[in-house]
Amino acid sequence: MPEPLYIDGIEIQDAFAEAFPMTATRVIITANDDYWARQAAESMTGFGTSVIACGCEAGIERAVSPNETPDGRPGYAVMLFAMSGKELEKQLTRRVGQCVLTCPSSSVFSGMDGEKKIALGDHVRYFGDGFQQSKVIDGRRYWRVPVMDGEFVCEDKTSRQSAVGGGNFLVLSETLQGALDACKAAMVAMEALPRVIMPFPGGVARSGSKVGSKYKSLVASTNDAFCPTLRHVTKTLLPEGVAAALEVVIDGLSEEDVAEAMRVGIRAACKVGKHTGLRAITAGNYGGKLGPYHFHLHKIL
């Protein structure tokens, strides 16, 4: 039997998070000021929680200062993750066209270099109806698309790379508020890390899922083993006294990035949770059948 592990008095169960291969890209959105850059970034990453139904998983990686952006304006780094390069390019093009092009004063640039190229502004430029113009600077092509507040500037291409999706950990708490407080602390700590996003609302999913369903049309359904209202009618995995479980989900550009985010997030959750009824930390997996990346909590911590 493995030795029990506790952090700040919180039990860390001997479980592993199961993650799977994805492909990811990163872009930089800028605007005249932080407000408008943030509006574009939030709009572009909306409806990007899960590839199960959203097409991609998307989130804001971090704010980018003017001295880091190509045009010297404030901006945000946004990352998108998908199951294939084709789907990633489709989602990126749609979201740039509908959410960044439309946002006042915005521009968008590649935020990643690599051999695997995908379209960024290459399709969106046609909105210019023949009035668009391009210029190559240091081997990179940029488009200037006329719009009603001046010009929308977008880089022609960005890159994509292999990535990891579905890293996770679950907080098990005596109360819902205690679970929420632990998750908030985890999110604040993880948001300071580069190369990762937490795609669900506030980084957290209350509707953790299992593979399959009694309904043949569904590929996923509620994870009944962690639903407190079902503990007497299903094979529950909730310890006695736990009234709420929430799942923090992490996508990253590498295994190391996901593991570091899990480590930082779990420690932050435990530090707050010891005062708010947090009982245990565990992780979601499907018996190792879903993905090749297994993040064992005891090993990570």
Domain boundaries, the chain: 5-19+162-300, 22-160
Confidence of residue 199 (pLDDT cuts 50, 70, 90): very high
The model's pLDDT over 221-275, given as tens digits with 9 standing for 90+, comes to 999 999 999 999 999 999 999 999 999 999 999 999 999 999 999 999 999 999 9
Model confidence at 2: pLDDT above 80? no
CATH architecture of 5-19+162-300: 2-Layer Sandwich (3.30)
pLDDT at site 257: 98
Using CA of residue 191, residue 184, residue 46, residue 37, what is the dihedral sign? negative
Helix/strand/coil (H, E, C) string of the chain? Answer: CCCCEEECCEEECCCEEEEEEEEEEEEEEECCCHHHHHHHHHHHHCCCCCCCCCCCEEEEEEEECHHHCCCCCCEEEEEEEECCHHHHHHHHHHHHHHHHCCCCCCEEEECCCCCCEEECCCCHHHHHCCCCEEEEECCEEEEEEEECCEEEEEECEEEEEEEEEEEEEEEEECCHHHHHHHHHHHHHHHCCCCCEECCCHHHEECCCEEECCCCCCCCEEECHHHCHHHCCCCCCCCCCCCCEEEEEEEEECCHHHHHHHHHHHHHHHHHHHCCCCEEEEECCCCCCCCCCEEEEHHHHC
Alpha carbon of residue 219 to chain centroid:
21
Q: Does the reported pTM lie above 0.75?
A: yes
Is residue 73 within 8 Å of residue 1, measured between CB atoms?
no
Is the model's pLDDT at 110 over the cut of 90? yes
* Residue 9, pLDDT score: 96
293 is written with which tokens?
């990346």
Say how far apart CA 154 and CA 108 lie, in whole Å: 5
pLDDT in the model for residue 154: 98
Q: What percent of the chain has pLDDT above 90?
A: 95
* pLDDT given for residue 223 in this prediction: 96
- Using 50, 70 and 90 to split pLDDT, how confident is the model at 290? confident
Question: pLDDT band at 187, cuts 50/70/90?
Answer: very high
- Residue 17 and residue 291 in contact, taking contact as beta carbons nearer than 8 Å: no
Mean of per-residue pLDDT scores for the chain? 97
Q: Name the fold adopted by 22-160.
A: Alpha-Beta Plaits (3.30.70)
Give pLDDT tens digits for 136-160: 999 999 999 999 999 999 999 999 9
Two domains, one topology: 5-19+162-300 and 22-160: yes
